[in-house]
Structure 1
Amino acid sequence: AAGTSVTVKWTVTNGTCSAFDNVTLQNDAQPVVSDQPNQTLCNTSTFTMTQTAPSVGSGIWTFVGASGAAV
């Protein structure tokens, strides 16, 4: 379930020699975001981003490198 974790042990054996390592697996909640429509703006230097905050976690805006786009 989301928000839980479990520790598992990985053991490797070669003859009478062995080694192990504990690994913790954390099950985080999946964030959900809304899909907002594209915006078209004309001759303005300001605009409002319309994406809502994620249900859990944090969000960040990044450029996807549109051809010929001016910023």
Structure 2
Amino acid sequence: MSQQAEELTEMFYPLIQKWEEDFNSLLLKWIEDAKDNLMPFPILRPLIRLVVDTHIQNMEEFEGGGEP
């Protein structure tokens, strides 16, 4: 990795990490809030599960190679 890329990574990584934490907490809060409201719409459950599973998989892949 070039010097400039390393500097940019060090500069932006804390911001990205904070955004990720905020996004995760908002996503979990939305899911918790939506559970009761979505009960009449069981067809939406697989869609929500897909979104959550995809997000978790993306975060696991990112954590595997995203740290400086």
Same fold (TM over 0.5): no
What is the TM-score normalised by the length of structure 2? 0.25
- Tell me which protein shows more helix as a share of its residues: 2
Higher relative strand content: 1
In the superposition, the TM-score normalised over structure 1's length comes to 0.25
Larger Rg: 1
